[in-house]
Copies of this chain bind each other. A is one copy, B any other.
Amino acid sequence: MGSVFGTLFRISTWGESHGGGVGVVVDGCPPRIDLSESDIQFDLDRRRPGQSEITTPRKEADQAEILSGTFEGQTLGSPIAILVRNKDARPEAYTEMSEKFRPSHADYTYQAKFGIRNWQGGGRSSARETIGRVAAAAIAKKVLVKEYAPDLEIIAHVKSIREIEASVSADDLDFDTVEGNIVRTGDPEAAEKMIELIKEMRKEGNSVGGVVECVVRNVPPGWGMPVFDRLEADLAKAMLSLPATKGFEVGSGFEGTQLTGREHNDAFRMEGDRVRTKSNRSGGVQGGISNGENIVFRVAFKPTATIMTEQETVGLDGEDTILKGRGRHDPCVLPRAVPIVEAMTALVLCDHAMRQRAQCGGS
């Protein structure tokens, strides 16, 4: 329970940070999609630790193996199983954690729920779990582009690190620019300041959070559902299912509550034979369904819980104690969160595209 996502394009992720490995099974993928391991590896490499001087120095190759579901380079329509072996494990780095709960981690709640936990490196609550999501999403993107939305673009970037904010519009956001700096922001000027701040935090043994923004272009009108499975509801769930997230907003979001209806409404107008809106405070969704404008949303990530400081906590036997942070961790998860936000977006969209075709036909 809890590790299955999607109705039609359905994924099951599995694995702890320490143990045999992590992976995913994708059930429901359309047949005859070209797929090889290199398609998956690209995004896994954007996600993996050790890729730059502002991420954790842990080195993990995170090499994906496709175990099933393809034949002669194409998907079969049967489940696609992907395995990434765990390497570079140092369980001895975690022995203190076997007896103490790390503040603002999942140690205590896992223990309270299950009465057992794999205390080596976070176990199932480790961000390493997201490997399965990213691998599955690489397939979802191929399905979306081939079958449903040939010009689809999903681009996330770091909108802010603490108080440093990127200045770039949803229309101008550009993948190459984002990938052109190690913090993955769409604003090269802000990038330098963000990098500076993260390095400073690391030096202090401290950590910092921020906001990831995601823009989706060229989604056809009509994806999404009334009522519970509104497109923004499923996106919100997808984003809040990521480790370290504390908030989600779409379009005008929380700031939109400062406007009156007259200021906030998006007037319609024709542009050729397309119905367009003059503004996009709706963020590309109205009544839970895409309207053809850019889908724009933002996700808040808290500062990394692991810090190199003494912290008050309690132990397994119910005694107050002190924990000294150790290990190799990201002082800021946002640069590596960018491809993960894109991945969850692709998974939500692919599932809704298939649901739309099932119910309403068309492509």
Chain B neighbourhood of A270, CB < 8 A: 314, 318-320
- Residue A278 at the chain B interface, CB threshold 8 Å: yes
Q: What 1/0 mask marks residues of chain A from 69 to 112 whose CB sits below 8 Å from any chain B CB?
A: 11100111111110100000000000000000101111011101
Q: How far is the CA of A181 from the CA of B50 in the complex (A)?
A: 55
User: Cβ of A4 and Cβ of B20 under 8 Å apart?
Assistant: no
- Residue A169 at the chain B interface, CB threshold 8 Å: no
CB neighbors of B among A32-68 (8 A): 32, 65-68
- Determine the main DSSP class of A at the interface with B: mixed
Chain B nearest CB from A257 CB (Å) reads: 4
Chain B neighbourhood of A240, CB < 8 A: 230, 232-233, 235-237, 248, 250
Chain B neighbourhood of A147, CB < 8 A: 361
Q: How far is the CA of A33 from the CA of B169 in the complex (A)?
A: 43
Q: How far is the CA of A303 from the CA of B232 in the complex (A)?
A: 17
A287: nearest chain-B partner, CB-CB:
B106
Q: How far is the CA of A233 from the CA of B299 in the complex (A)?
A: 12
- Residue A216 at the chain B interface, CB threshold 8 Å: no
Contact of A256 among B74, B118, B246 (CB under 8 A): B246
Comparing A171-179, A186-194, A205-213, the segment that makes contact with chain B is A205-213
- Residue A8 at the chain B interface, CB threshold 8 Å: yes
Chain B nearest CB from A41 CB (Å) reads: 16
Q: How far is the CA of A68 from the CA of B16 in the complex (A)?
A: 6
Q: How many copies of the polypeptide does the oligomer hold?
A: 4
For chain A, the count of residues having a C-beta within 8 Å of the partner chain is 157
- Residue A145 at the chain B interface, CB threshold 8 Å: no
User: Cβ of B14 and Cβ of A67 under 8 Å apart?
Assistant: yes
- Residue A300 at the chain B interface, CB threshold 8 Å: yes
Chain B neighbourhood of A245, CB < 8 A: 232
User: Cβ of A81 and Cβ of B286 under 8 Å apart?
Assistant: no
User: Cβ of A302 and Cβ of B76 under 8 Å apart?
Assistant: no
A106: nearest chain-B partner, CB-CB:
B287
User: Cβ of A300 and Cβ of B76 under 8 Å apart?
Assistant: no
Contact of A264 among B3, B256, B302, B361 (CB under 8 A): B302
CB neighbors of B among A248-295 (8 A): 248-254, 256-270, 273, 275, 277-278, 281-283, 285-292
Contact A113 B76, CB 8 Å, known A2-B225, A14-B81, A264-B209: no
Chain B nearest CB from A181 CB (Å) reads: 19
A232: nearest chain-B partner, CB-CB:
B240
Most buried by B among A30, A79, A275: A79
Contact A211 B76, CB 8 Å, known A13-B227, A105-B287, A226-B2: no
User: Cβ of B208 and Cβ of A260 under 8 Å apart?
Assistant: yes
Most buried by B among A66, A101, A113, A201: A113
Q: How far is the CA of A287 from the CA of B123 in the complex (A)?
A: 11
Q: How far is the CA of A300 from the CA of B270 in the complex (A)?
A: 30
Contact A264 B105, CB 8 Å, known A228-B3, A359-B77: no
